Every structure is written in structure tokens, then in C-alpha cells.
Structure 1
Amino acid sequence: MGLFGRRKRAEQEAYEAEPEYDEREGVDDVVPEFEGDLFEYAGPHDVADAPDDGLNRLDLGSIRLPVPDGAQLQVEMDQSKSVVAVHVVTPVGQLTVNAYAAPKSGGLWREVSTELAEQLRNDGATVRTTKGEWGLELLVALGDAHLRFVGVDGPRWMLRGVVAGPPEIADKSAHALYDLVRGTVVARGTQPMPVRTPLPLELPPAIAQHIQAQQQG
């Protein structure tokens, strides 16, 4: 799935009951509310500050995902066979998390979300904004497709998550996305990268071998 180009299909959910988010507000002032020890481990996390929380995470190189039990993985590749995205398919929707190089000053998600909303509207989608756990979120409806986009600015990286789920279980789809994003660990690396460059994804050997066998078969 491209972050800045046209998407092949839309995924999300429209929350008619949620208040519209004033895009003039600064998302840097948003402080999520957690109870007890959850605040200590609330993410996403930079690899330098990854918590010892006991979660089993799928190591994809630049990101490490806490894949829910029973979920299926769909790997998206480009023509050069490089991994573009790994989609986590669950009973409540398809979840996708990607990370990108970002400036030290942060603020990339605000810029990207504005462009993404404009692109989706040009495709005929209805796009609303709301304030969520990490600030600005996009709620998108395009035909029968419904999506929620969230973004998090980290240290020299930006994480974007999206869920595609049926509108009738929108709450469950959103919670699944939040859980995945909270538990994700980002390993940006120290190499210089142009801003917005997708952080490279690498499949674990067992998954890569399985896909190669399927392609050869």
C-alpha cells in the first residue's frame, strides 16, 4: 500500500457519533489517558526503549509487530519482490502498520495526513478527522469500504496504521488497530534517509521460504 500515491482500495470505518477534530488544534498537546501500569508500556516504542512486556512480536526488520492470536498474514510485494507491506488479517478487519523516515523535529504525520485526506477525497471518499489516542485520525468511507488511519511521530520515524473493517463492528476494528500500534516496536537504524522513505521490511526466513515455495509451485 502506498502512503503518498493513490490506494488500490480504501479500508476503514466512519464513526458518525465521533466529534470532528479541529485541524487547527496542535496534536502535540494530546496526552492519552491510561490507568495503572499500562502507561509505562504504552507505545509504539523506539527499539532503544522497547519494553520487557513479554509480548511475542513478529520481527520484520524495521518494525516488530505483536500479531494477535489467530490472525493471518498477507504479504504485499512490488515487482522487484521487495516487501511493501505485511497485512494482519483478523476477524474484525485488516490491519497494516508501516514506518517511514522522519525529521528530528517531528510533525510529519500532520503533513502526511493532510495530503492523504486530499487524495482520498479526490478519489470520491468521504473523509472526516477526529482526535484519538495519538492525536489526529482520519475516518474514511468510500463505497462499502471503511477505514481508520492513525499516525505517530517518533524519534526520526513516523508510524502509520490503518484498519479496514465492516462498519457494524467499527469499535472492535479501532481497538484492534490501537492494540497493534501500541505494541509495535520501530527499529529505524542510524543510516541517513530522505524524509518519507519507507523503512525496509524483511520477512522472517520461515515466511520468506514459504512464499518462495508457493511462487515456484
Structure 2
Amino acid sequence: MGIFGRKRAEQGKPAGRHSAPDADERDDDFEEPETSLSAVQDGPFDVADAEEDGIPRIDLGSVKVPVPDGSQVQVEMDPESGGVRAVHVVTEQGQVTVSAYAAPRSGGLWKDVGNELAEQLRQDGAKVSIGMGEWGIELSAIVGEVALRFVGVDGPRWMLRGVIAGPQTVAAQAPMVLRDIVRRTIVDRGEAPMPVRTPLAITLPDAVAEHIAEQQAQG
């Protein structure tokens, strides 16, 4: 499923694909007198504000994601483009995926995205509930036997979204695992202007990229 809802699709745009917005909708030009960035005390942090803490992370370029003890990293490739679609951290409580997107300087993007996502999930037949967490709204959804929890953080010119998907039997522990990973994630937005909601590029460490290339060559 896509991160954003179907409102754009109903207007003649396919879900998950977005045409570039007008210049006044680009994150580099978007100015508002008031800001609505998430309250962040102990993370996640922009790369400019992050301190060395010794926590092991996988460097994916736009995001540096912690890998807890006992978890595994899975790379999801796009069969059409051959590029990286997503990187997942697989824990005992479920599969965690953290993604970053370009956002307005003023923040507030996650509230819109979260509401669109809730609408899309309901249209797909999921049971959805919305609550408030430490960074803003959090979504809980049940799809068959799978429990989902989504959180979002509005940072300086970026929005970070995290989701954990796992069995309902461990759903009670899943939100804490998700929050811990999101809290320790570092975002490297870069300086280039780009349209709001543009996914920040994911790059793999050399060792991981070489391993995947070897597997593809053997397959």
C-alpha cells in the first residue's frame, strides 16, 4: 500500500504517484508564519543536530536506522527499476520500515498524510483507530491477522514515517519497538530543493549492495 491516500487517484492521478507541485508548494519556498514541527526531545534528529551516541545504525543515505540486537535487515528491491524500494528491520515484534520525505519548513505534513492513510486503510477494509503519541497522531490498523502501527515526525524540511507490521499476538509490544527505532533514527535531508512529499533517496552500504549484486548474478 502507498504512504498517501487515494484522493489524488480519484482526481485522475494513480495512487502512490504524484506529479510535481507548483513552485509555491515546494519545500524550499514554502513559508508560513507559524510552525508545527513535532516536539522532539530525544530523537529522531536531523543529521545537523545528532550527537555521537555509539548506537549501531545502518546508513541508508537519507536515514541512518538503528538495528537492535537480535533483529535482521531485509532489503526490498523494485523489480522494474532495479533500485531499492525499502529497507526493513525485522524484529520479534514485527517488521519495521522507516522512510523520510521532503516536507515544508513549517512542518505539519504528517497530520495530513496520517489522515489520508487512515482513509485509505479503511477503504481497503482495515479496522483503523487514531490516537495521539509523543510526536503527534499515531495510527493503529488491523488487516486480517496483521496488526499495523504508524507514527510520523515532522522535522526541519523532512517528515519521517515509521510503521511496524506483525502478528496480533505481539501487537501490545510492537508500538514501543517502533518508537524506539524511530527515536534513534537520524535523517539526512540534504540541501537540494525538491517537491513536498518526495521520498528521500535510499542508498545501501557498499557491502550490502555487493552482496545483493552477487545474489542477483547467481539467480
- TM-score normalised by L of structure 2: 0.81
Q: State the distance in 1 between where 2:112 and 2:164 align.
A: 20
Q: Is residue 77–residue 86 contact of structure 2 (8 Å, CA) maintained in 1?
A: yes
Tell me the distance in 1 between the aligned counterparts of 2:56 and 2:72. Answer: 15
Task: For 2:5 and 2:83, locate their aligned partners in 1 and report how far apart those are by CA, in whole Å.
Answer: 18
Q: Normalized against structure 1, the TM-score is what?
A: 0.82
8 Å CA contact 2:37–2:156 kept in 1: the answer is: no
**Which residue matches 2:125?**
124
Answer 1 or 2: higher relative contact order, Cα 8 Å, separation at least 6: 1
Using the TM superposition, give the Cα deviation of residue 171 of structure 1 relative to its aligned residue in structure 2, in angstroms: 2.7
Q: Deviations over 1:114-138 (max 9, x none)?
A: 1111111110111100111212000
1:94 corresponding residue in structure 2: 95
Query: Residues 25-48 of structure 1: CA distance to partner in whole angstroms, max 9, x if unpaired?
Result: xxx59868xxxxxx5xx1100000
Aligned residues: 189
SS at 1:129 equivalent:
strand
Instruction: Output the CA distance in 2 between the equivalents of 1:5 and 1:31.
Output: 25
User: Over aligned residue pairs, what C-alpha RMSD do you find?
Assistant: 1.9
Q: Which runs of 4+ in 1 moved over 2 A?
A: 4-7, 28-32
Query: Which ranges in structure 1 are unaligned for 5 or more consecutive residues?
Result: 8-27, 33-38
Q: Which residue of 1 aligns with 2:141?
A: 140
Counterpart in the other structure of 1:172: 173
Q: 3-state SS of the aligned residue for 2:172?
A: helix
* Residues 94-103 or 169-178, more deviating: 169-178
Identity of aligned residues (%): 61
Q: Secondary structure at the match of 1:150?
A: strand
Shifted more, 131-140 versus 187-196: the winner is: 131-140
Structure 2 unpaired stretches of 5+: 7-14, 16-35
Q: Secondary structure at the match of 2:161?
A: strand
Q: In the TM superposition, what are the counterparts of 1:197-216 in structure 2 within 5 Å? A: 197-216=198-217
Match of residue 52 from structure 2: 52
1:111 matched to 2:109? The reply is: no
What residue is the counterpart of 2:21 in the other structure?
none
Matched, 1:73 2:73: yes
